Amino acid sequence: MDLKNILLLIMALSLTLLAQTLFSQEKTGSISGEVRDAVTKQPLPGANVFVPGTTIGTTSDDKGYYIIKNIAPGKYHVKASIIGYESSSNPDVVVIPQRNKMISFNLKASPVEMDAVTIQSDYFAKPDENVVSIRTLSPEEIRRSPGSAEDIFRVMQSMPGVATAGGKSAQLIVRGGSPDENLTLLDNIEIYNPIHFARTGESMGIISIVNPALLEKVDFLTGGFPAKYGDKMSSVFDMTLQNGNKELYNTDVNANVAGFGVTMDGPLVENSSMVFSLRRGFFDILTSLLNKPAAPRYYDAVGKITYDLDPNNRISLVGFYYLDQIDKLGSTKESSAMSKYDYLARDDYGSALGLNWRLLISQHAFVLTTVSFTGNGWTTRQGSETNRALRGEDILEEEFAIKSELAYQFSPVLDLKIGGFVKLIDSKNESWTPEDTTRSGVIIPAATISYIPDMTSKAALYVQSSYRIVQPVTISVGLRFDRFALTNESNVSPRLALSYRFLESTSLNLAWGKYIQSPASYQISPDPRNLLLKSSTAFHYVAGLEHRLADDTRATVEVYQKELSNLVVDPDSSNLLLNTGSGYARGVELSLQKKFTDGFVGSASYSYSVSKRRDNSTQALYDFEFDRPHIMNLIAGMEVGKGWQIGAKFQYASGNPYTPVVGAVMKNGVYYVVDGGYNSARYPAYHKLDVRIDKKFHFNSWTLMAYVDLWNVYNRQNILSYSYKVDSDGIITTTPRYDFGVLPIIGLSAQF
């Protein structure tokens, strides 16, 4: 049964369940979940879980599990507390009729013995090793973010220090780094291509392959991250899937301009649950209606099954699959690699299957072991009607990985993590291109690449320890060792972080570390001599102040410096790459963030940064292509009664650098453009205003959520790039490529 038939089957099942529930008159919902120690993952029996200011609440059982039944539909602030722990709050819990909402809490032990009181709730709790540059978002925060179309990566484009690549791309540009410097994880499984229609080494991509409705939380670390994360230089995007609830079957059916999806979760056999999502894109239908020659379509499926073998052993099976397809027959006006040929067939695909086993080995320790298989690849055929394979490629990379981590808490003030992994890597890179001529008249000869190396491996070991020396001071020390067999290279990466709370609501946070990134297969494959490439290196220096204006509001300022060396560069546009690149990225970030309490949510951030590179030590520094000195984001949202919510987001960013055309020259009787200084000009500044309106309709046994997400309200003509043509008289025509104009995105979601 192929993916399309599976989708139809899921749709039919969902509609059947909906019809059954319409006869029910139950108008209340429930909340359930677990309360556990944040470090040891031990269940916390007797924890109070309640809605402050009401009589709604309960206590957790001996497994740390709780359930609160018969809750009227609405949005609630839910809090968990127990003596000796810092309490935790979730101000954004939405209860829907005849549904069960899973909300779990991980509480940090207090370093001070307290017999009769609990510590004040922390809306911005974070692990001791992540003292700087971290944001944690919930699915509800992602869902209602204006200008994102409920896509998780577009939401992160509004975080401090992150630049948008425009409305046509969901890629993340973090502190002046390129998108391929970002590490993405899904339930401890590394994802190499988390965005539809984005290939390794490219800056484009439309929408995340992970439905945000499946997520429990997302941790986004933009610098100074601890030793458990490696082989990337800029950021970490760590997604945690929720467990399916153990009480009821929930089903969501949703649709917007991007596609149609079905999400289901609920119990399986005793002590087990599942959550599953399947989506199909609508882009091909839209391009057909607009009479465009290209027809992009995508499919994705993500799922998780969780089973408790006994109170100390939990296993979870996690998997995903995605497929992107583009077919084009006919020319387009847009200048791109796609428009050089009349015919294009492109398939991108990826999959993963992983097993997580969490073993509680004592009251103070647990081991998390992950066994996973991932595959990622694509095929391309471009040409003419008579020869549809003038240019093509067959790329595939597969990995089998085993990783494990032991976490041990010696006391509430001292913990230790020791872990490592081994990966077996199998790859194939075959491509062929005909002779071509660049816009400046340089002839590129025909080339064929056949890179099918023997299976190779990567391995790593790390240790990370956090110690609260005295009550206001926490220090975290990490050390990581990486080994890459293909290039016969080993690296040692130390990490250090310190947090000093010198006032009750104010802390000074510092982090330093070495980060390496091994060369990718697409960099090695064009020339055998590229096996001599070594890992690129970045040293992070981060200092910040964090001040709590209120329990639900914080202000931060961070200053950072990234020193870059051994960068992989292409010095002469040949297939031979070198490690002669260097540079730096530095900047300052200011932010103000308020959680969704009292019917209002908001954030404001401003970043100033400089990102410079050079290709070798004898050349001058130039502006890196992702350098955007000024970035500002303003976001606000509020409830306006009777199920209505409204939000708005304003974004501003300096234009990216580009290489301008300064003239034309004749070569062999043909005019070609003459380039100016490399990245010596900038596109106009990028800015836009997005507005989102949500309305929730509660029926007897189900809920309908409708929204309008209006992008670029004042129709700013943001320029993404220029294309140039020279006619037979040497006259240059410059054509800008624009981002989306006014774009209304309408979405519906039925929840039952």
The pLDDT tens digits of the residues spanning 495-544 come to 999 999 988 889 999 999 999 999 988 888 888 888 999 999 999 999 99
At 336 the pLDDT is 42
Burial of 411 (0-12, 13-18, 19+ CB in 10 A): exposed
Collect all residues with Cβ–Cβ distance below 8 Å to 411 and sequence separation of at least 6: none
At 340 the pLDDT is 65
At 245 the pLDDT is 87
8 A C-beta contact, residue 650 and residue 687: yes
Higher pLDDT, 126 or 189: 189
At 211 the pLDDT is 87
Cα distances from 382 to residues 327, 386, 387, 389, in angstroms, run: 10, 11, 9, 5
**Which residues make beta-bridge pairs with 663?**
674
pLDDT above 90 covers a percentage of the chain that reads 53
pLDDT above 70 covers a percentage of the chain that reads 91
Whether 471 has a pLDDT exceeding 70, the answer reads: yes
At 24 the pLDDT is 44
Residue 506 host element (H or E):
strand 506-517
Mean pLDDT within 410-429: 93
**Which residues make beta-bridge pairs with 100?**
30
Q: Read off the tokens for 661.
A: 């055309």
Backbone phi and psi for residue 119, each to the nearest 5 degrees, phi listed first: -85, 155
8 A C-beta contact, residue 50 and residue 31: no
pLDDT in tens, 89-107: 888 888 888 889 899 999 9
Residue 332 and residue 296: Cα distance in Å, rounded?
A: 14
**pLDDT-derived band of residue 423, with 50, 70 and 90 as boundaries?**
very high
Q: Read off the tokens for 174.
A: 């973090």
Residue 601 and residue 694: Cα distance in Å, rounded?
A: 14
Measured from the Cβ of residue 59, the count of other Cβ atoms closer than 10 Å reads 13
At 69 the pLDDT is 93
At 623 the pLDDT is 96
Q: List the alpha helices (DSSP H) in 227-353.
A: 283-289
pLDDT in tens, 304-346: 999 999 999 999 999 999 999 888 776 544 334 445 678 888 8
For 145, the 3-state DSSP assignment is coil
Higher pLDDT, 7 or 85: 85
Whether 447 has a pLDDT exceeding 70, the answer reads: yes
Residue 72 and residue 68: Cα distance in Å, rounded?
A: 11
- Which amino acid belongs to residue 387? N
Name the architecture of domain 3-122: Sandwich (2.60)
Measured from the Cβ of residue 30, the count of other Cβ atoms closer than 10 Å reads 19
At 526 the pLDDT is 86
Q: Read off the tokens for 276.
A: 């599953």
Residue 357 and residue 424: Cα distance in Å, rounded?
A: 20
Q: Where do the structural domains in the chain lie, given as residue ranges?
A: 3-122, 134-751
Instruction: Give the lowest-confidence range in 116-130, 245-259, 452-466, 643-657.
Output: 116-130
Whether 66 has a pLDDT exceeding 90, the answer reads: yes
Backbone phi and psi for residue 455, each to the nearest 5 degrees, phi listed first: -55, 135
Residue 175 host element (H or E):
none
For 180, the 3-state DSSP assignment is helix
At 201 the pLDDT is 52
**pLDDT-derived band of residue 110, with 50, 70 and 90 as boundaries?**
confident
Higher pLDDT, 9 or 281: 281
Mean pLDDT within 272-296: 77
Could you please state the CATH topology (level 3) that the domain comprising 134-751 is classified under.
Maltoporin; Chain A (2.40.170)
Collect all residues with Cβ–Cβ distance below 8 Å to 612 and sequence separation of at least 6: 583, 584, 585, 621, 622, 623, 624, 627
Residue 182 and residue 202: Cα distance in Å, rounded?
A: 12
pLDDT in tens, 18-53: 444 444 445 788 999 999 999 999 999 999 999 998
Largest CA distance in the chain: 89
Residue 657 and residue 676: Cα distance in Å, rounded?
A: 12
Whether 116 has a pLDDT exceeding 50, the answer reads: no
Residue given tokens 């989306």 in the structure block: 740
Whether 12 has a pLDDT exceeding 60, the answer reads: no
Please spell the DSSP secondary structure of 603-633, one letter per residue.
Answer: EEEEEEEEEEEESSTTSPPEE-TT--SEEEE
Higher pLDDT, 328 or 383: 383
Higher pLDDT, 109 or 315: 315
Q: Read off the tokens for 339.
A: 């428009």
8 A C-beta contact, residue 218 and residue 140: no
Collect all residues with Cβ–Cβ distance below 8 Å to 255 and sequence separation of at least 6: 261, 747, 748, 749
At 698 the pLDDT is 80
At 119 the pLDDT is 43
Whether 16 has a pLDDT exceeding 90, the answer reads: no
Higher pLDDT, 368 or 448: 368
Residue 724 and residue 660: Cα distance in Å, rounded?
A: 10
- What is the average pLDDT score of the chain? 87
Residue 155 host element (H or E):
helix 152-156
Evaluate the CA torsion angle 467, 110, 30, 248 in order and state its sign. positive
Query: How far is residue 288 CA from its own chain's centroid?
Result: 30
Whether 191 has a pLDDT exceeding 80, the answer reads: yes
At 329 the pLDDT is 75
At 2 the pLDDT is 54
Collect all residues with Cβ–Cβ distance below 8 Å to 115 and sequence separation of at least 6: 83
**pLDDT-derived band of residue 290, with 50, 70 and 90 as boundaries?**
low
Residue 65 and residue 266: Cα distance in Å, rounded?
A: 16
**394: closest CA among 328, 348, 440?**
348
Whether 400 has a pLDDT exceeding 90, the answer reads: yes
CA geometry: angle 88, 508, 562, nearest 5 deg = 110
Residue 157 and residue 653: Cα distance in Å, rounded?
A: 11
- The residue ranges of DSSP E strands in 330-455, in sequence order, are 343-362, 365-383, 391-411, 414-433, 436-437, 443-444, 447-451
Residue given tokens 């027809």 in the structure block: 295
Please spell the DSSP secondary structure of 565-600, one letter per residue.
Answer: EEEEE-TTSSS--EEEEEEEEEEEEEEEEEEEETTE
8 A C-beta contact, residue 638 and residue 648: no
Collect all residues with Cβ–Cβ distance below 8 Å to 568 and sequence separation of at least 6: 519, 523, 533, 536, 577, 578, 579, 581
N-to-C CA span, the chain = 27
Burial of 421 (0-12, 13-18, 19+ CB in 10 A): buried
Mean pLDDT within 702-721: 92
Whether 429 has a pLDDT exceeding 80, the answer reads: yes
- Up-side HSE of residue 675: CA atoms within 13 Å toward CB? 14
pTM of the shown model: 0.89
Residue given tokens 């790859």 in the structure block: 427
Please spell the DSSP secondary structure of 458-491, one letter per residue.
Answer: EEEEEEEEEEEEETTEEEEEEEEEEEETTTTEEE
Residue 30 and residue 100: Cα distance in Å, rounded?
A: 5
Residue 191 and residue 205: Cα distance in Å, rounded?
A: 15
At 53 the pLDDT is 86
Query: How far is residue 331 CA from its own chain's centroid?
Result: 34
At 294 the pLDDT is 66
- The pairing of strands 622-623 and 630-641 is unpaired
Residue 738 and residue 198: Cα distance in Å, rounded?
A: 19
Whether 648 has a pLDDT exceeding 50, the answer reads: yes
Backbone phi and psi for residue 436, each to the nearest 5 degrees, phi listed first: -145, 170
